[in-house]
């Protein structure tokens, strides 16, 4: 159960990620991980979409692609940053972003051990499937570090955290 709600300040967090550069077009390039703090989003409108895992069927085929397809619509609504988070390592997240064709449009952030998601009460225990603790499937709209929208999927599939629903809430 989420411990934050609309109107709350976004809890601080730090994520690892590999910024996209043209060098990453080379399939053998790996990039260099760096960090990003949620504090860097002060004064910005940010959409955070969280998935249980990169390359997993629903996340890979149904959840992330519509965000890229509707990227221009998000920008038209004043969104400065779209970020997808998962508990996968930054190299996997970068590889997933490259396969999805995200380039520099959507950040692929690693929520190491789902620590930030857990601090929000948004972790998902998939130990019974051999995946351990993951980030749950959710979406958050943040404006100047204030949560404007937060919804968590109650079961399989993509509804309240999908691109269409988030666009409607902007």
Q: Which residues are catalytic?
A: 59
Q: Which residues contact 26 (CB under 8 A, 6 or more apart)?
A: none
Distance from C-alpha of 152 to C-alpha of 131, rounded to nearest angstrom? 19
- Number of Cβ atoms within 10 Å of the Cβ of 15: 22
The alpha carbon torsion through 47, 110, 92, 31 (nearest 10 deg) reads 90
How is residue 97 written in tokens? Answer: 């972003």
Tell me the longest C-alpha to C-alpha distance in the chain.
44
- CB of 49 closer than 8 Å to CB of 154: no
């Amino acid at each position: 159960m989420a411990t934050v709600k609309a109107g709350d300040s976004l809890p601080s967090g730090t994520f690892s990620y590999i910024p996209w550069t043209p060098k990453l077009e080379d399939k053998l390039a790996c990039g260099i991980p760096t960090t990003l703090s949620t504090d860097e989003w002060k004064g910005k409108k940010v959409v955070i979409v969280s998935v249980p895992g990169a390359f997993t069927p629903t996340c890979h085929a149904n959840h992330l692609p519509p965000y890229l397809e509707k990227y221009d619509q998000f920008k038209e609504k004043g969104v400065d940053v779209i970020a997808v988070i998962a508990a996968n390592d930054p190299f996997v997240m970068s590889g997933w972003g490259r396969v999805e064709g995200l380039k520099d449009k959507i950040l692929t952030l690693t929520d190491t051990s789902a620590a930030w998601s857990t601090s929000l009460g948004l972790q998902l225990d998939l130990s019974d499937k051999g995946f351990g603790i993951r980030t749950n499937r959710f979406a958050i709209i943040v404006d100047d570090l204030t949560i404007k929208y937060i919804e968590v999927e109650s079961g399989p599939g993509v509804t309240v955290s999908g691109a269409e629903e988030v666009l409607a809430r902007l």
